[in-house]
Amino acid sequence: MNLIDEFPKISTGRLNLREINLNDAKPLFQYWSDIEVTKYLNIDPFINMGQAVNMIRLLRSLFPRKEGIRWIIVRKKDNAVIGTCGYNSWVKKSSRGEIGYELGREYWGNGYASEAMKEIIDYGFNVMELNRIEAFTVPEALRSINVLKKYGFKKEGILREYGYWNNQYWDENIYSLLKRDWIKSL
């Protein structure tokens, strides 16, 4: 499969990762409007379906421009849309990508984020030819930090008042994983 020509589909034991489309707006609006889900994202909770449609259009635009790639996460056993994951940015010149993910609250604590992350990290290093994967988290996002640490991401520091959302400035931790470290961990 050529990354340039076709949006990639990824399958894990319990999940399918596929391209987001407008039919996913309803469940994604539910998650993106949940204050607990958006608490540590850099967005305010959505208040109308139009915001979800616009976000889907934005996320879908990343791949054709080769600026990023975002998958919808679908649970195989019931075809439930449970969240999204992928690369919010892709800087080909420096072989670097920024990874991100979110799940609906009812799917937290089941290992779904870890399962999806393993595959998209592998995809990033082996298909996108990344050398470095970055992740930004607020210090309070302990679940997210644990997923990153599980796969060998190293904390590089704190970016003081780096983000602004929910009408306030937020510190953000920056984590990274290098390809050579990923290869050693396999």
Considering the domain boundaries, does residue 2 fall inside one? Answer: no
Considering the domain boundaries, does residue 5 fall inside one? Answer: no
95 — alpha (psi -120 to 50), left (phi > 0) or beta?
left
Considering the domain boundaries, does residue 23 fall inside one? Answer: yes
166 — alpha (psi -120 to 50), left (phi > 0) or beta?
left
pLDDT tens-digit readout, 56-100:
999 999 999 999 999 999 999 999 999 999 999 999 999 999 999
> For residues 17 and 73, is the Cβ–Cβ distance under 8 A?
yes
Considering the domain boundaries, does residue 1 fall inside one? Answer: no
Q: Residue 169 has what DSSP assignment?
A: E
Distance CA 183, CA 125 (A): 9
pLDDT tens-digit readout, 30-60:
999 999 998 888 788 999 999 999 999 999 9
**φ, ψ for residue 42 (rounded to 5)?**
-95, 40
Percent of the chain predicted with pLDDT > 90: 84
> Which domain range does residue 140 map to?
10-185
Residue 93 maps to which CATH number?
3.40.630.30
73 — alpha (psi -120 to 50), left (phi > 0) or beta?
beta
Distance CA 135, CA 153 (A): 8
Considering the domain boundaries, does residue 3 fall inside one? Answer: no
pLDDT tens-digit readout, 112-129:
999 999 999 999 999 999
Mean local confidence (pLDDT), 10-35? 96
Q: What pTM, to 2 d.p., does this model score? A: 0.93
124 CB contacts (<8 Å, ≥6 apart)?
87, 97, 99, 130, 133
Considering the domain boundaries, does residue 53 fall inside one? Answer: yes
> For residues 63 and 69, is the Cβ–Cβ distance under 8 A?
yes
Give the total number of structural domains in the chain: 1
